[in-house]
Amino acid sequence: MARLLITGAGGLLGANLALAAMAAGHRVIAVDFLHPIRHSEVESVQADLSHPGAALQVFAAHRPRWAVHCAAAVDVDACESDPETAFRLNRDMAGQVAMAARAVGARLVHISTDAVFDGERGGYAEEDEPRPVSVYGSSKLDGERVVLDECPEALVVRTNIFGWNARPKLSLSEWFLERLRRGERCTGFTDVSFSPIAVGDLSLCLLRLLPMPVFGRLHLAGGETISKYEFGLRIARAFHLSPEPIVPGSVDSMRPGARRARRLGLEVHKAEALLGAPMPALDPMLRRWRQEETDGTLDRLRGLVARPADTNQDQEGAR
Ligand SMILES: NC(=O)c1ccc[n+]([C@@H]2O[C@H](COP(=O)([O-])OP(=O)(O)OC[C@H]3O[C@@H](n4cnc5c(N)ncnc54)[C@H](OP(=O)(O)O)[C@@H]3O)[C@@H](O)[C@H]2O)c1
């Protein structure tokens, strides 16, 4: 099977993609910087891909046929307070990776975000004009542009994800679940909506799209757009937990930080036509996510990542 290079392979999406790719029989080249992957079936590479020339060195040494660039600065508030790092990682590093992919003739999929939109309208299609409201969104939008300038045959995937982290940090779904299990009061925003997709489902879509001649921007998100409050309630239902700890609230009540766009639902018609199937609905994805906790998936995921003393991130930080 093909050699697939994954950047950010210890991250939320990267680790789940690495597992799915191994299960599909691909040879995985896992690139990370501070938290490298350790697995007998994976070629593990430790590199600061933001360092000029580093990406080219990695791609030239490992010669992947395909590459999925997941590495990024994703902490929205940290990006806001340190724009230089945000643009260095989300724009410049993406450009370096695109240049390296082009140099060795690798097919590149670059992961972007719904946060490139301002969230005034929602239901965004690929052709809609992006207008980010945060440094994170602006730096990711610049990343899309440099990738497509460097590598016009790259596929740029805009998404919003949930699932299990390999490392001890919390995705939005894990944050809700932890609080529901502890019966700890938490706020679900009723005025922020999105189209979340489980990282396992997204990984399977990415693996199907890699060999297809599809270029440019593509929205690959869940088939339902819901508020973050409703998302929390659905998690409670999927895990047979009381929804009581989740209280409805407004994003305006949040502590100061980056501005959050409100309506970030993505149109997925183009993806559905390419994949020949509707994008998955939320409840079946949540049921699969619940199963992953006990069917060995979560253990395999955590087994991928070497554990230095790591810190927990809270929900706002994680997304
Ligand atoms: N999480 C979400 O809710 C969400 C929503 C929409 C879109 N996205 C997009 O999805 C993609 C994946 O996000 P994620 O949540 O999986 O991210 P994540 O868990 O924070 O992982 C990011 C990865 O990037 C790596 N990285 C950072 N700087 C690096 C560098 N200089 N050199 C090499 N690797 C570096 C990190 O590796 P080390 O830790 O080893 O340094 C880490 O594995 C990103 O493009 C993000 O913008 C995420």
Mean predicted confidence (pLDDT) in 296-316: 68
Report field, pTM of the whole predicted structure over 0.85 = yes
Span between the terminal Cα atoms of the chain, in Å: 34
C-alpha to C-alpha distance for 268 and 277, rounded to whole angstroms: 11
315 — pLDDT class (breaks 50, 70, 90): very low
How far apart are alpha carbons 36 and 32 in whole angstroms?
5
Supply φ then ψ for residue 208, to 5 degrees.
-70, -35
Host domain of residue 299: 3-318
Number of independent structural domains in the chain: 1
- Judged against a pLDDT cut of 90, whether residue 299 lies above it is answered with yes
160 C-alpha to center of ligand 1: Å? 13
β-sheet bridge partners, residue 113: 159
Q: How many CB atoms lie within 10 A of CB 169?
A: 18
What is the share, in percent, of the chain residues with pLDDT greater than 90? 90
Any idea what the CATH number is for the domain that residue 72 is in?
A: 3.40.50.720
Which of these, 257, 240, 258, 264, lies nearest to 161 by C-alpha position? 264
Whether residue 93 is predicted with pLDDT greater than 70 in this model: the reply is yes
d(CA 293, CA 200): 13
Q: Within its chain, how far is the Cα of 300 from the centroid? A: 19
Q: Which of 87, 136, 189, 289 is catalytic?
A: 136
E strands, 220-297, where? 226-227, 246-249
Q: Is the C-beta atom of 319 inside 6 A of ligand 1?
A: yes
The question of whether 136 is a catalytic residue gets the answer yes
Mean pLDDT is lowest, of 46-60, 195-209, 254-268, 289-303, for: 254-268
Q: What is the tens place of the pLDDT at every residue in 233-290?
A: 999 999 999 999 999 999 988 776 778 899 999 999 999 999 999 999 999 999 999 9
Quick check: 208 pLDDT over 90?
yes
Per the rule left: phi > 0, alpha: psi between -120 and 50, beta: everything else, 119 is left
> Does residue 311 surpass a pLDDT of 50?
no
- Does the structure show a pLDDT above 50 at 153? yes
- Report, as an integer, the average pLDDT of 144-159: 98
Q: Is the CB of 101 under 6 A from ligand 1?
A: no
pLDDT tens profile 8-46: 999 999 999 999 999 999 999 999 999 888 888 999 999
Helices (H) and strands (E) in the chain, counts: 13, 13
Q: What is the pLDDT of residue 306?
A: 64
Taking the centre of ligand 1 as the mean of its atom positions, its distance from the CA of residue 70, in whole angstroms, is 6
- The answer to whether the CB of 108 falls within 8 A of the CB of 101 is yes
CA dihedral 204, 210, 212, 216 (to 10 degrees): 110
The average confidence (pLDDT) of the chain is: 94
**How much is the average pLDDT of 208-237?**
98
161 CB within 6 A, ligand 1:
yes
pLDDT in the model for residue 32: 95
> 125: CA distance to ligand 1 center in Å?
24
Q: Is the CB of 143 under 6 A from ligand 1?
A: no
CA 42/CA 62 separation, integer angstroms: 12
